[in-house]
Amino acid sequence: MAKILKEVLCLHNMEMFLWPINSQGSNPRPADTRKGRHCFMLYKFKMPDLSTTGDEVDVKQWLVNVGDRITRGQAILEIETDKAVMEVESPVEGVLREWVAQPDTTVGVGTIIAHIETESR
């Protein structure tokens, strides 16, 4: 599956993979996906800026598994910032495809922590 994915950079910080690639081998622009087009995206979830210093947070544990369906607002990851242990909520609804952030590691704010397959509206 990953091989036929082609990366598209969305205008605003949100990076997405779109598929399938159409017969011309090009990708629909993300802007088109809003117009009721049925399309799946791999949403690359970046670590939100939850620390008070803005730099790094410790990844504690995954709260959902690969393959799990997750809802918008669901706590999916436990982290520890310079101040507190807290849960990270998913900004999108979909199916968790891959965990990038590994427990007991430190990740910077803005680094990709998970790939979530979403169905665009």
Partner 1 sequence: MTNPPQAKIDIDSYEAGFLLGLYERMVQIREFEEGVKFLFLEGTMPGTIHQCQGQEACAVGVCTALEPTDWITSTFRGHGHALAKGLSVDEMLFELFGAATGCAGGKGGSMHMVNMDKGMIPSIAIVAGGVPVAAGMALAFKMQQTGQVAACFFGDGAIAEGAFHEGVNMAAIWDVPVVFICENNQYGASTHVSKVMRAATIAERLSSYGIDGRRIDGNDVIAVYEAARRAVDDCRAGRGPAFLELLTYRRTGHSRRDACHYQPKPEREQWLEYDPIVRLGQALVEAGHATTEELDAVRKQILTSFDDAVERAKTQPQPTLADLTTHVLA
- The binding site for partner 1 (CB under 8 A) comprises 11-14, 34, 46, 48-52, 72-73, 81, 83-92, 110, 121
Q: Which is nearer to partner 1, 50 or 95 (CB)?
A: 50
Q: How far is the CB of 3 from partner 1 (least distance, A)?
A: 27
Q: How far is the CB of 89 from partner 1 (least distance, A)?
A: 6
Counting Cβ atoms within 10 Å, is residue 98 exposed (0-12), middle (13-18) or buried (19+)?
middle
CA distances from 121 to 58, 75, 85, 117 (A): 33, 22, 33, 13
Q: How far is the CB of 23 from partner 1 (least distance, A)?
A: 28
Q: Which is nearer to partner 1, 66 or 75 (CB)?
A: 75
